[in-house]
Amino acid sequence: MIATLETCPKKESIYFDYIQKFWVSIYDKDIWTSDDAYNDYYDTHLDDFVTPYAVTSPAEDIAETFSEFIFTEEPMDLSKIKDKKVKYFWNFKELVTLRSKIRKNLK
């Protein structure tokens, strides 16, 4: 389990599951040491993150990816990790319902 600086998620949470699926294999404290390190990592992993800011922590990654889930259509091509991350949210009926409500209220 990754205990991040900003939180220690409950094992039953979506956030905990997201970390297990997408961060456990990449979380190395030597990588996350500076803005340059984040930028370098993003530049070499463009297919893994929806924005450069998403690289900075699991919490920012899930937040940026959730925003992408809200504002884009469901990805069909899952050859990129960032699209798998967006698709992940489609597995939760309550989040799909929330997405619909948010999109309806934005119009």
Please give, one letter per residue, the 3-state secondary structure of 68-99: HHHHCCCCCCCCCHHHHHHHHHCCCHHHHHHH
- Total domains present in the chain: 1
Q: Is residue 99 part of a domain?
A: yes
pLDDT in tens, 54-74: 998 888 999 999 999 999 999
Q: Is residue 9 part of a domain?
A: no
Q: Mean per-residue pLDDT for 11-21?
A: 90
Which residue's structure tokens are 């040491």?
33
Q: Is residue 11 part of a domain?
A: no
Tokens standing for residue 10: 């409950």
Q: Which domain holds residue 44?
A: 21-106
Give the per-residue pLDDT at 5: 46
Q: Is residue 91 part of a domain?
A: yes
Q: Mean per-residue pLDDT for 12-26?
A: 89
Q: Kindly report the pTM of this predicted structure.
A: 0.86
pLDDT greater than 50 at residue 1 = no
DSSP per-residue codes, 37-75: HHHHHHHH-TTT-SSGGGGG-HHHHHHHHHHHHHHSPPP
